[in-house]
Amino acid sequence: MELPFEAQAAEELWQAVEWYESEREGYGELFLDEVEAKVARAARFPHSGPRVFLPNVEPGHDIRRFPLGRFQYQVITAIVAGERAVIAVAHTSRRPGYWQDRLR
Protein backbone atom coordinates (compact mmCIF):
# COMPACT_ATOMS: atom_id res chain seq x y z
CA MET A 1 0.00 0.00 0.00
CA GLU A 2 1.30 3.41 -0.95
CA LEU A 3 0.12 6.69 0.56
CA PRO A 4 -1.16 9.40 -1.76
CA PHE A 5 0.42 12.85 -1.57
CA GLU A 6 -1.72 15.96 -1.30
CA ALA A 7 -0.72 18.44 -4.02
CA GLN A 8 1.07 20.84 -1.66
CA ALA A 9 3.05 17.99 -0.08
CA ALA A 10 4.16 16.73 -3.49
CA GLU A 11 5.30 20.24 -4.42
CA GLU A 12 7.25 20.53 -1.14
CA LEU A 13 8.92 17.20 -1.80
CA TRP A 14 10.14 18.18 -5.26
CA GLN A 15 11.30 21.61 -4.11
CA ALA A 16 13.39 19.97 -1.37
CA VAL A 17 14.78 17.36 -3.81
CA GLU A 18 15.83 20.12 -6.21
CA TRP A 19 17.39 22.19 -3.42
CA TYR A 20 19.42 19.29 -2.04
CA GLU A 21 20.56 18.33 -5.54
CA SER A 22 21.65 21.91 -6.23
CA GLU A 23 23.67 21.94 -3.01
CA ARG A 24 25.43 18.65 -3.60
CA GLU A 25 25.10 16.24 -6.49
CA GLY A 26 23.35 13.04 -5.48
CA TYR A 27 21.79 14.44 -2.30
CA GLY A 28 18.45 15.06 -4.00
CA GLU A 29 18.23 11.35 -4.77
CA LEU A 30 19.29 10.42 -1.22
CA PHE A 31 16.60 12.70 0.18
CA LEU A 32 13.95 11.25 -2.14
CA ASP A 33 14.95 7.69 -1.23
CA GLU A 34 14.64 8.48 2.46
CA VAL A 35 11.23 10.12 2.03
CA GLU A 36 9.99 7.15 -0.02
CA ALA A 37 11.19 4.72 2.68
CA LYS A 38 9.49 6.75 5.40
CA VAL A 39 6.23 6.95 3.42
CA ALA A 40 6.33 3.18 2.88
CA ARG A 41 6.79 2.71 6.63
CA ALA A 42 3.93 5.12 7.35
CA ALA A 43 1.72 3.16 4.95
CA ARG A 44 2.62 -0.17 6.52
CA PHE A 45 2.57 1.00 10.15
CA PRO A 46 0.36 4.12 10.18
CA HIS A 47 0.21 4.38 13.97
CA SER A 48 3.98 4.12 14.49
CA GLY A 49 4.58 7.85 14.08
CA PRO A 50 4.04 10.17 17.04
CA ARG A 51 0.55 11.65 17.04
CA VAL A 52 0.17 15.40 16.57
CA PHE A 53 -2.65 17.12 18.45
CA LEU A 54 -3.75 20.50 17.12
CA PRO A 55 -6.35 22.88 18.52
CA ASN A 56 -9.35 23.42 16.25
CA VAL A 57 -8.59 20.29 14.20
CA GLU A 58 -10.85 17.28 14.55
CA PRO A 59 -9.14 14.30 16.23
CA GLY A 60 -10.51 12.08 13.42
CA HIS A 61 -7.74 13.36 11.15
CA ASP A 62 -5.27 11.26 13.21
CA ILE A 63 -2.25 13.40 12.32
CA ARG A 64 1.09 11.59 12.56
CA ARG A 65 4.66 12.72 11.96
CA PHE A 66 7.50 10.56 10.69
CA PRO A 67 10.93 12.21 11.09
CA LEU A 68 13.62 11.41 8.55
CA GLY A 69 16.94 10.12 9.82
CA ARG A 70 19.59 11.90 7.78
CA PHE A 71 17.71 15.06 6.85
CA GLN A 72 15.96 17.67 9.01
CA TYR A 73 12.55 16.94 7.53
CA GLN A 74 9.49 15.01 8.56
CA VAL A 75 6.66 13.43 6.64
CA ILE A 76 3.29 14.48 8.04
CA THR A 77 0.32 12.18 7.42
CA ALA A 78 -3.36 12.53 8.26
CA ILE A 79 -6.73 11.04 7.44
CA VAL A 80 -8.07 13.05 4.49
CA ALA A 81 -11.40 12.16 2.85
CA GLY A 82 -11.44 8.85 4.70
CA GLU A 83 -7.93 7.64 3.89
CA ARG A 84 -4.42 8.35 5.14
CA ALA A 85 -2.41 10.71 2.97
CA VAL A 86 0.82 12.70 3.11
CA ILE A 87 -0.17 16.29 3.83
CA ALA A 88 3.32 17.81 4.21
CA VAL A 89 7.02 17.17 3.76
CA ALA A 90 8.14 19.73 6.31
CA HIS A 91 11.51 20.96 7.53
CA THR A 92 11.76 20.44 11.27
CA SER A 93 12.70 24.03 12.13
CA ARG A 94 11.69 26.29 9.23
CA ARG A 95 8.19 27.74 9.52
CA PRO A 96 6.99 25.32 12.23
CA GLY A 97 3.39 24.24 11.82
CA TYR A 98 2.76 26.11 8.55
CA TRP A 99 0.92 23.05 7.19
CA GLN A 100 -1.72 23.00 9.97
CA ASP A 101 -4.21 25.09 8.00
CA ARG A 102 -4.43 22.33 5.41
CA LEU A 103 -6.76 20.38 7.71
CA ARG A 104 -9.07 23.18 8.83
Query: pTM score, two decimals?
Result: 0.91
Which letter does DSSP use for residue 55 in this model? T
Pick the CATH number of 7-103 from 3.40.50.300, 3.30.2310.20, 2.60.40.1230, 3.40.190.10: 3.30.2310.20
Per-residue pLDDT reduced to its tens digit, 61-87: 899 999 999 999 999 999 988 899 999
Which helix (H) or strand (E) is 18 found in, with range? helix 7-23
Q: In degrees rounded to 5, what are phi and psi of residue 79?
A: -80, 120
Per-residue pLDDT reduced to its tens digit, 44-59: 999 999 999 888 887 7
**Which of 101-104's residues contact partners 24+ apart within 8 Å by CB, and which partners?**
102/6, 102/8, 103/54, 103/57, 103/58, 103/61, 103/63, 103/78, 104/56, 104/57
